[in-house]
Amino acid sequence: MLRDTLIALLIGFVVTAIACPLFIPVLHRFKFGQMVRDDGPKEHLKKTGTPTMGGISFLAGILVASLFLIPKYKEVAVVFLFTISYGIIGLLDDILKIKKKQSEGLKSSQKFILQLVVSVIFIMYLYKIYGLDYGVLIPFTGSFDKGIILKLGVIWIPFALFVILGTDNGVNFTDGLDGLCSTVTVIVALFFMLIGLKGSFSVTPVTGAVIGSLMGFLIFNAYPAKVFMGDTGSLALGGFVSSYALMCRIPAFIAVVGFIYMIEVISVIIQVGYFKATKGKRFFKMAPIHHHFELCGWSETRTVTVFGIVTIILGILVYLFM
């Protein structure tokens, strides 16, 4: 399994590293540029016009690598289809943003309905496999043969929906600095790979496809970014993280290994709630929280590096106590 995972990693990397320099000029030609929020950090205004929808390039890498894996690992197809479905929702959002020439594409209600439909179909698939016998491994309690497994019964169905929607929003919010979402997700996928290999999950090789594809994308997405992943990429990655974790019955691990995703969402919730409660005051300088650190004087590269280090440390802790 490790060999196939590493081959998928190499395939994903090569395909994406080749696709990006071919795809970026096309995005420029059709003027598929990023629309930057007016209320964001002023330094980000210079990024207006940088090509977006770059997530298509690493999704191509994941696709080719997955085609190599699927004949041998059938469950890879499930995670890939869920990932690409969320990517398509993001693509629609990106296209509308470009068409409207503003930072909002799909309405919140429209996006939620599309996400809900895709998520329910995936949860129905999980129900077919596990029924109401779905168990969640609790982090820091050991591996599946020794750790604490919490049986949720019928509660796991709304729980799974919460995991998917919460994770996807978290990954989406994390995509706000050059290379941030790509870097954090490479690390998350790496530890998911190690956990999957330890548990011998047949879906594990798909992590190699994601890691390699994102590494190829980072060549062009790291600061200063030549291309952004857009919602096409961030929603797809949220779909990958949540579907893989649910398939392996480790969704609780997202709160630890994917702590950055969680804190990004929580910072927005706190900011909005505090703003309403105090009638205009702000808890953070700006939300999501990566913008708060920017306005505190951190550079983009420092923020990405620190968030990446935090993810590595938490991933090591999770892996050591499995």
What's the longest Cα–Cα distance across the chain? 57
Polymer length of the chain: 322
Helix (H), strand (E) at residue 181: helix 180-199
Contacts of 39 (CB under 8 A, 6+ apart): none
Q: What type of residue sits at position 87?
A: G
Rounded (10°) angle between helices 55-69 and 2-29 = 150
Classify residue 200 by burial, with Cβ atoms within 10 Å: 0-12, 13-18, 19+.
exposed
- Give the gyration radius of the chain's Cα atoms: 19
Q: Which residue has the tokens 């941030």?
A: 180
Q: How far apart are CA 269 and CA 286, in angstroms?
A: 12
Query: Cβ atoms within 10 A of the Cβ of 124, count?
Result: 10
Tokens at residue 303, please? Answer: 């923020």
Residue 231 annotated as binding site: yes
Contacts of 98 (CB under 8 A, 6+ apart): 31, 32, 33, 35, 52
Look at residues 157, 220, 222, 229 and name the one whose alpha carbon lies nearest to residue 183.
222
Q: How far apart are CA 20 and CA 14, in angstroms?
A: 10
Would you call 169 helix, strand, or coil by DSSP? helix
Q: How far apart are CA 288 and CA 154, in angstroms?
A: 33
Would you call 142 helix, strand, or coil by DSSP? coil
Query: Partners of 33 in the beta sheet?
Result: 51
Question: Binding-site residues, please?
Answer: 172, 231
Residue numbering of the annotated binding site for Mg(2+): 172, 231
